[in-house]
Homo-oligomer: A and B are copies of this chain.
Amino acid sequence: MISRVMSAELAEHAGQRVTIAGWVHRRRRLKSVSFLVVRDRAGLAQAVTEGDLPPEESVVEVTGTVAANPQAPGGFELVSPEVEVLAEPRVAPPFDLYRPVVGASLPTVLDHAPVALRHPLLRAPLEISAASAAGFRETLDGLGFTEIHTPKIVASATESGANVFGIDYFGRTAYLAQSPQFYKQTMVGVFERVYEVGPVFRAEPHDTVRHLAQYTSLDAELGFIRDHRDVMAVLREVVAGMLDSVRRRAAPALDLLEVALPEVPDEIPAIHFTEAQELTSSGEPDLAPAQERWLSEWAEKEHGSEFLFVTGYPMAKRPFYTHPDPARPGYSNGFDLLFRGMELVTGGQRLHRYADYTAALAAKNEETGPYRGYLQAFRYGMPPHGGFAMGLERWTARLTGAANIRESTAFPRDLNRLSP
């Protein structure tokens, strides 16, 4: 390995001659002296030089003596540097990566993602995303969950029927999985508690700021629950664990983006769907975005919580595998978790008896044939179970306050965008 110290470690090497390596973040020529600011994965370091200044995004090794300078990043800089250029850029970046704000439109950023993401502000959401996924797994590992990897190519477009991508699968038509729902339920029969972090695919025909054709779904499912409230309790731990992980693992990104992380109440407030309808004076069988925003504000005022569970959504609005509320026919043991004005997580208790599945499908005039693989699990005995799914990009966008979900992923896929 190139023997180097990281930019953030200069202080530990005061007076020593060391090598840093990274990209030329900025050249600054002053009257009597010049600065070369080098960016590495840990941050920025500055070298004071009288020699040549290679252009921005040159890849360099800089060997110099570490000297204190209160005005340098981290309070130390390299003096008497020797600069070796490992690779030269062929062209200048489409916008200045060293400026504190991003001086380019989102389409420009997305078209030039390979270089644009080097801007610390554009890289930061991806650091928060990585820390969040780590916290998701860490929390569930601690609760006895097992990680699974399920097929992304499926035989039938069963889960919603709409918005699926078709594939040519060895001459047959197959589909990209819209979620690991059926497989994670099935695996409750094997491991009781499972999770998956993986891509899901939605052929979303609308170009909106909150939809992607591929996103990373954080899925969990667990057996031997009483009802959906046990799922909500696990979700509360997961959200708290994700935030804790972000705090520990992505502190610089949080600082850079000036993100204030939410507190998670020991018990997240929960209201029933009918109560949400009353509060928002709605007679509709679902909550519109404006109502979700209103409810989020209400939870903040009323309960001091940026999180709010809405439970008991009407069965008519939930998928066929949803478990009804035994006490209130027509309402489900399903829930949404609202966060900062938007649905962040959908979850609930699922049916677990084979006869309930065949009845639910019959009620929707659906054949059981296309569901045969899935229904196998229930033919052989399944415990009461439930789970939830959260989009990693949506979570990150809500945390960072991104206006467009495309800022929460490196290489978004949508109706129009298939590269880079």
Contacts and interface: CB of A to CB of B under 8 A. Distances in A.
Q: Determine how many copies of this chain the complex contains.
A: 2
A118 B410 CA distance: 38
A381 B118 CA distance: 11
Given A87-B383, A379-B89, A419 B224 contact: no
Contacts of A115: 189, 376-377, 379-380
A410 B130 contact: no
Interface in A367-410: 372-374, 376-384, 392, 409-410
A354 interface: yes
The interface residues of chain A, by DSSP majority, are classed as mixed
Given A153-B418, A183-B410, A418-B169, A373 B114 contact: yes
Interface stretch (A29-37, A144-152, A285-293, A328-336): A144-152
Contact of A57 (B1, B88, B380): B380
Interface string A220-258: 000011100010010000000000000000000000000
A151 to B, nearest CB: 5
Contacts of A23: 189, 381
Nearest to A21: B224
A112 interface: yes
A339 to B, nearest CB: 21
A88 B172 CA distance: 36
Given A59-B381, A151-B214, A225-B2, A418 B172 contact: yes
A419 to B, nearest CB: 4
Contacts of A89: 379-381
Interface residues of A, number: 98
A360 interface: no
Contacts of A378: 90
B170 A203 contact: yes
A86 B155 contact: no
B383 A151 contact: no
Contact of A150 (B133, B379, B410): B410
A41 interface: yes
A183 B411 contact: yes
Interface string A10-23: 00000000000101
B384 A1 contact: no
Contacts of A354: 90
B410 A187 contact: yes
Given A87-B353, A130-B148, A155 B380 contact: no
B383 A419 contact: no
Interface stretch (A160-168, A298-306, A316-324): A160-168
B112 A376 contact: yes
Given A2-B225, A149-B216, A152-B152, 13 more contacts: A41-B192, A114-B377, A114-B380, A115-B376, A117-B189, A117-B190, A118-B380, A123-B191, A134-B137, A151-B411, A152-B214, A165-B168, A376-B420
6 contacts: A1-B230, A21-B224, A59-B352, A87-B353, A87-B383, A199-B199
